[in-house]
Each structure stands twice: as C-alpha cells, then as structure tokens.
C-alpha cells in the first residue's frame, strides 16, 4: 500500500479533505492539524471527505473522521459528505457505524476537485500518538454498542498505561 497523504482544498467556505493511500495513526497529528485549520476558518460552511484513493484506513483515523463529523454538526448543523467508491472502505465505514447520522455517503464526487494541497506531515511523538489513539477510539465507542465492545479493552489498556 502507498504511504498515506492528506490533501486539502477550500473554496468559499467548503473544505475538501482527501485521504490518499494507507491512512494510519502516523498521520493522526496531520489530520488533527487539518481539522483545527478547518474549524478555525470563519468562512467554514461545508466539508467533503474524499476517500476514492484511500487504500486502507485504521481505527484511529476513523475516529478522527467521526470527530470531524461531530464537530461539523455542532458548528454548522450539517452532516459531512464522504465520497468512496471502494467496497472494502465502505464496508469498514459501515462496520464502524458511519451511517446517515454520521456521514452522507456517495460514490462519486459532486464537484470537480482541483487545487488540492498536501498537508505537511506533522511528526507524532509516542505520547501524542497514544492520546490521539485514545481520543479516536473513545469517539468510535460513542457511535454504537458494537464499537463499545470492540474497543473497550484497547481504551482500558491505554487509560491504564497513562495512569502508571
């Protein structure tokens, strides 16, 4: 799988976040930086997440996508759009509870995507990674009971290792 990259574009308050390749925990600070920029944009009015070139995505990155959805609904009272034409990625999204309450799923982008700029990779320390993984999995656990069962041991272990 190709190393993951995060590309972004913004036009008149609409943000496009494109995740390319294998999107893993190593990109969690980069994704977090992208979210901060987006939610600090006074003109922010919509967001589209493009997963058409995503080859793989881990649960930490999925948790950050859930965070994007939660904060978008709080900020502008809209459900973000996710574009994915990959059956495997769609299955992963569905298995995590990414239903119509979390994202509007489409298989083709509703607009031409131009002027995407690659987000610089923000290095992640071990402690920052642990914090991002913990936060992302707590968010995923809030989506449904299946996720609570799936991630409760991981979250408990991360919380335990932090208190030592």
pLDDT of residue 108: 82
Report residue 18 CA to chain centroid gap. Answer: 10
pLDDT of residue 130: 86
Torsion of CA 161, 143, 9, 24, to 10 degrees: 40
In the chain, the domains with their CATH numbers are: 5-163 (3.30.750.24)
pLDDT of residue 164: 46
* Confidence (pTM): 0.87
Helix runs in the chain, H state only:
28-39, 59-76, 87-95, 126-143, 145-163
For the chain of 164 residues, list the mean pLDDT of each consecutive stretch of 10.
86 93 93 95 95 95 96 96 95 93 87 74 85 92 91 89 62
Beta bridge partners of 49: 17, 82
């Amino acid at each position: 799988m190709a190393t993951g990259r995060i590309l972004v574009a913004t036009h008149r308050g609409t943000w496009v976040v494109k995740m390319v390749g294998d999107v893993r925990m190593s990109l969690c600070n980069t994704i977090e930086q992208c979210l901060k920029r987006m939610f600090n944009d006074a003109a922010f009015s919509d967001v589209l997440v493009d997963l058409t070139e995503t080859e793989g995505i881990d649960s930490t990155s999925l948790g950050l996508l859930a965070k994007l959805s939660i904060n978008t609904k709080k900020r502008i009272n809209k459900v973000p759009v996710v574009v994915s034409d990959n059956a495997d990625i769609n299955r992963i999204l569905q298995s995590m509870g990414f239903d119509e309450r979390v994202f509007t799923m489409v298989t083709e982008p509703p607009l031409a995507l131009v002027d995407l700029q690659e987000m610089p990779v923000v290095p992640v320390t071990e402690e920052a990674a642990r914090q991002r993984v913990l936060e992302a999995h707590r968010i995923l656990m809030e989506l449904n009971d299946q996720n609570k069962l799936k991630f409760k041991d991981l979250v408990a272990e991360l919380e335990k290792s932090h208190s030592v």
